Amino acid sequence: MDKKKIKHISKGMSLVLRHKPEHIGITLDEQGWVEVDVLIEAFSKHFFAINRDELTTVVAENDKKRFALSDDGKKIRASQGHSIEIELGYEAKNPPEVLYHGTATKFLATIKVEGLTKQSRHHVHLSSDEKTAQQVGARHGKPVVLRVDAQRMNAQGLAFFQSENGVWLTEYVPVAYLIFPDNYSEVDNEN
Ligand code: HQG
**Residues flanking ligand 1, CB < 6 Å:** 64, 66, 81, 103-104, 107, 110-111, 114, 116-117, 119-121, 125, 136, 139-140, 167
Nearest residue to 116 via CA among 54, 179, 31: 179
Give the integer Cα–Cα distance in Å for 89 and 67: 15
Q: Which CATH code of 1.10.10.970, 1.20.1340.10, 2.30.30.110, 3.30.70.1230 fits the domain covering 3-78? A: 1.10.10.970
Q: Nearest-5° angle of CA 170, CA 174, CA 177?
A: 90
The residue contributing the CA closest to ligand 1 atom 4 is 103
**Residue pLDDT tens, the chain, 191 long:** 888 999 999 999 999 999 999 999 999 999 999 999 999 999 999 999 999 999 999 999 988 899 999 999 999 999 999 999 888 889 999 999 999 999 999 999 999 999 999 999 999 999 999 999 999 999 999 999 999 999 999 999 999 999 999 999 999 999 999 999 987 655 555 44
Fold adopted by 99-186: ADP-ribosylation fold (3.20.170)
Give the integer Cα–Cα distance in Å for 55 and 12: 11
CATH 3.20.170.30 range(s) for the chain read: 99-186
What integer pLDDT is reported at residue 186 of this predicted model?
57
CATH 1.10.10.970 range(s) for the chain read: 3-78
Q: Which of 19, 63, 65, 125 to mutate to test the pocket of ligand 1 (most atoms within 8 A of CB)?
A: 125
- Amino acid (1-letter code) at residue 153: M
What integer pLDDT is reported at residue 1 of this predicted model?
84
- Helix %, strand %, coil % for the chain, to 5? 35, 20, 45
